[in-house]
Structure 1
Amino acid sequence: MSDAKRASTPENSAKKQAGRFQPGQSGNPAGKPRGARHKAVQAMDLLGRNEGEEILLSVIQAAKKGDMRAAEIILRRIWPETKGRPVQIDLPAIADAGGVLEAMAAITQAAATGEITTDEAASLAALVEGQRRAIETHDLEARIAALETRK
């Protein structure tokens, strides 16, 4: 008999239900204690406390001797990567659905001509989408209020 057939038998279902805990009840209702840390994280913390300074000094020495990977590690800590840059493109006012349409067209055009990157265009489009949802929510609220006053 295959495992799939064995798992679906009524006897196995009854065995599962007769387990240590009732359905919906955990063996640890309080859950993991607040602030509890995984053993691997505790080991890394111990390594950092005991050996961290020595490791850091050896990475710095390796970087000074020309190890580019060590230099990259140090420099990424000193100057973290920027996640974007200020983007300046002309967007219309986005106060209604027409403004959303015009803004998306301007973003698409700017990306197509290379004025902004596609990642920057996606970020701007997400902002416009947020504004569109805000407009939609406002309009729906107004429509619901108008319907409620008719009653």
Structure 2
Amino acid sequence: MSRIWHIGLAVPDLERGMAEFGTLFGLTWRPVVVRSMTMTDEHGAAHDVDCHVTFSLGGPFAVELWQALPGTPLATPPGGYFHHVGYWTDDHAAEKQRLADLGYPDFLRSEPGLLIARGPGNVRVEPCDLGRDQPYLRDLYPPDSPYFGTPQLPTN
């Protein structure tokens, strides 16, 4: 199974990005969360990051915005904010191999299970594991997923 569920945008100022995209597309936002992780880039270099990120409410298609982190794979891409398309997959390991076979090597990876691959034309994709619960995004899971339901939004 693979279903597009979000687009990821790296913005230079998260609050401003939320205001601008909210006004442009009539979006409201989930609370901003901080994801602390070590990610490995396509050259094997490790980056310890604190990523400030939010997703739009509603859906099932969502917009993901994060504060761009210069010098890391989460920097604003050359030429604009667009970073990747995220889609659901039933078998994350098999999908990683399928992407490699199609000429989409890892662009970044992190535990648990974050992978963004980059292919021709600098297109970046994020296969998202349907077997991994992300409670604050439950409303964005496909209806036949065991994790689909009411999101448990952080209260920070």
Would you call these one fold, judging by a TM-score over 0.5? no
Question: Which structure has the greater CA radius of gyration?
Answer: 1
Q: Point out the structure with the larger strand share.
A: 2
Give the TM-score of the pair, scaled to structure 2. Answer: 0.21
Give the TM-score of the pair, scaled to structure 1. Answer: 0.21
1 or 2 for the larger relative contact order (CA 8 Å, sep ≥6)? 2
